[in-house]
Structure 1
Amino acid sequence: MFKYCEKELSILTEGQIERFFDILNRASELIQKARDQSYLDSLIETLAVIQDPDTEESGLNDADAKKLINICSEFKRSEYDSETLRKGLQMAILKAIRVDNVQANYQITPDTIANVIGYIISGIFRGTESISLLDPAMGTGNLLTALNNQLSNTLSLTPTVSGIENDDAMFELAADSFELQHIHAELFHEDAVQNVLAPMVDVAVSDLPIGYYPIDKNAKGFATHSENGHSYVHHLLIEFAMNHVKKGGFGFFLVPSQLFQTDEAKQLLKWMQGRIYLQGLLNLPSELFQNAAAQKAILILQNTGEKAKQADPVMLGEFPSFKDQQAFAKFLTEIDAWEEKDLK
């Protein structure tokens, strides 16, 4: 009986996600066609209208404006929970990425990976009364909102959330996502490398942009900056993030699997010595990536201080295929044992 109800509930939730996406999609396509602009920009305008029906849409004729209001009026916030809204918006952003052929940095962190990071965090912080999160490169906010919702359920608390994003469109989408889901957050529309006055938190988490940071003078104040030429932006952001983590606090970052096998890694390792514990590096399943060079891993760091100590052994390994549920569950059990026996 319980399983039947659970299945019924799942179908109902999927239907709600699709219904919300349908509203976003029809409204965005209408604006896109009327204005002859990108789907992404049209989606941002749609979100503004959905949240405030009195928003004036200049550039639309009366007929299109009326159609838009009618479509958006189908949305009733009380009919949706936060996760349903997040997943519906995620579908719309994925369509924007496909239709507009936008740059790689707009790619959304898959929910499976977000769930794994949330699982590890919830294990470490189980029994605590509060948790604060910071994402120094939050993009559209999908990873941060997914973790907020997951930790709210698993730890029965409301996380304190902060995020930083430099890109105009991604910041607007993130801000709309938080507002839509009724998640209170402190958001900074700035470049984290320019040393934003962000709060100190328990956990820094980010699906880091990979590549070179273009403005060398901004990177000079970082210990991880390159002595010659451009610095790796993911190194700079790891340093920035961990500088905003409390003593004994953690950082969880999606990084290249080969993070410590480049020439530039020397600066990163030098900065870590004496102040950061490398607690884990878990490769994500290779099947998720087009080639070995593109493979990513979950990097687990911990600041020194408080009761922090170097885990022995460091958690190293590769996740089994997410499709192999038995092997995946076994690997999570191994993580549980490591957290309890070796990390704590």
Structure 2
Amino acid sequence: MAQAELKALWQALEQATTLLQKNLHTSFLDAVIEAGEDLQLGIRHEDGLPDAATTAKLKALFAPINLRDYSPEELRQALQLVLVKAITVDGIQPNQQVTPDAMASLASFMVTTFMPHFSPAATIVDPTAGTGNLLFAVMNQLHTATGSSLHGVGIDNDEQLLGVASMSAALQGLDVELLHQDALANLPVTAATLVVADLPVGFYPVDERAKQFATAAKSGHSYAHHLLIEQSVRMLAPGGLGLFFVPSDLFQTEEAAGLTAWLTQAALFQGLLNLPKGFFTSATAQKALLVVQKPGGSAKQVKQVLLGEFPDLNDRAAFAQFVDSVHSWAAQNLA
């Protein structure tokens, strides 16, 4: 796909979203949903809206677009660019913003490192799916890398964000089940092959529910990201892989003792890799990729935990060297 064609799709979606937002008097996110569904299914009208002038403009924007010319990943990329604008227009909170593609690529690289023989009927779960961008990017990348047709499960308690995810999955033709619920309320999935999540950072307000987890705080509110790591491991099948984007100081806070105690008993701690500092606006916002596995199956505790920092992705030589070092580590620890 030429870059110009991808740009044409992105611009058509962005312009259509802007038109619909003004004509329907909705949020930008709701207009994204409408634009994506109109592109796929045809322009729909309710109570006379969109009006005739807007409908004509939408038809002109969509006329040159043939969805069959685009791969699922190209459709996701175009939607992601539109969703980035929603951050500014709708004032979306940091915990609800789109996960950058580079982070999805790093997660996919870890999956192929730890699971080189990925099951063709695997289930991948994101317990904090939001708009689905991270989940769908990893699904698309793993399909390209392994040929596996994955079943995805996205969980979120924000109905609007899941509405975007539903439209996006349909547009890409992905096999995805979306659950509108608190991921900590009950165990929504069992026997998942993979859990991947860009975890929200903050306190979980439902103390009674938090008490059901070993990672709960002894007093006061518990950290939501601690609870979600534990819940995610519960969702995994024996030997399943958990990949979590977490604060880089995850194990350096006063509350880390409970998480560490649980982790050493209930999971295999396989790696912690800091993301490039350039990804973030400040050092305090820096994240890391935590790699854990559920005991059982063919999984074993690695002799040397994978530690380090991903290099700047724009430094090709450094990144190639990093990939080689991970492959060497895998040959010594995962063979």
TM-score range normalised by the length of the shorter chain: over 0.9
Deviation at 1:141, TM superposition (A): 0.8
1:306 aligns to what SS in structure 2? coil
1:168-198 Cα distance to aligned partner (Å, 9 max, x none): 1210111111111001112211110111422
Residue by residue over 1:36-59, the C-alpha shift from the partner in whole angstroms, topping out at 9 and shown as x without a partner, is 332222112212222221532434
| Secondary structure in 1 matching 2:149 | coil
Q: Which residue is 1:113 aligned to?
A: 103
Name the CA shift for 1:100/1:197 in 2 (closer, same or farther; >3 Å). closer
Of 251-260 and 281-290, more deviation after overlay is shown by: 281-290
Instruction: Give the structure 2 partner of residue 124 of structure 1.
Output: 114
- Note the residue ranges of structure 2 that are not aligned, 5 or more in a row: none
2:96 equivalent to 1:79: no
How far has the Cα of 1:70 moved from its partner? 4.0
Q: Deviations over 1:244-294 (max 9, x none)?
A: 111111101000010011121111122223221111000011122222211
2: distance between equivalents of 1:275 and 1:226? 17
CA distance in 1, matches of 2:190, 2:39: 31
Partner of 2:8: 19
Q: Which runs of structure 2 are paired with 1:1-344 in the superposition (5 Å)?
A: 12=2, 14-53=3-42, 55-58=44-47, 59-130=49-120, 131-344=122-335
The CA distance in 2 between the partners of 1:309 and 1:70, in whole Å, is 57
- Check whether the contact 1:53–1:72 (CA below 8 A) recurs between aligned residues: no
- Report the count of equivalent residues: 333
Letter paired with 1:64: T
Shift of 1:118: 0.5
Task: Work out the percentage of aligned pairs sharing the same amino acid.
Answer: 39
Kindly indicate whether the alpha-carbon contact (under 8 Å) linking 1:310 and 1:343 is maintained by their aligned counterparts in 2.
no
Verify the 8 A CA contact 1:281 1:297 in the aligned structure 2: yes
CA distance in 2, matches of 1:279, 1:232: 22
Whether the 8 Å contact between 1:23 and 1:74 is mirrored in structure 2 is no
Task: Tell me, in whole angstroms, the C-alpha distance in 2 between the residues paired with 1:160 and 1:32.
Answer: 32
Q: Following the alignment from structure 2 to structure 1, what is the Cα–Cα distance between the partners of residues 118 and 12?
A: 39
SS at match of 1:252: strand
Conserved 8 A contact 2:29-2:164: no
The DSSP-based 3-state class of the residue aligned with 2:188 is coil
8 A Cα contact 2:43 2:55, kept in partner = no
* C-alpha distance in structure 2 between counterparts of 1:50 and 1:162, whole Å: 24
Please give the alpha-carbon distance, in whole angstroms, between the structure 1 residues aligned to 2:172 and 2:258.
40
With structure 2 as the length reference, what TM-score do the two structures score? 0.94
In the alignment, is the contact (CA less than 8 A) between 1:16 and 1:84 conserved in 2? Answer: no
The one-letter code matched in structure 1 to 2:268 is Y
Q: Secondary structure at the match of 2:302?
A: coil
In structure 2, C-alpha distance between the alignment counterparts of 1:142 and 1:77, rounded to whole Å: 19
Greater alpha carbon shift after TM alignment, 177-186 vs 283-292: 283-292
Label 1:42 to 1:124 Cα distance change in 2 as closer, same or farther (>3 A): same
Q: 2: distance between equivalents of 1:156 and 1:97?
A: 33
Deviations 1:57-109 (A, max 9, x none): 43433322333344344432212111110110000000111222221123222
- 2:37 corresponds to which letter in structure 1? A
The aligned amino acid for 1:157 is: S
Write the distance in 2 (CA, Å) between the matches of 1:48 and 1:252. 31
Q: Is the 8 A contact 1:120 1:335 kept in 2?
A: no
Provide the alpha-carbon RMSD of the alignment: 1.7
SS of match in other structure, 1:290: coil
In 2, the alpha carbon distance for the partners of 1:200 and 1:188 equals 16
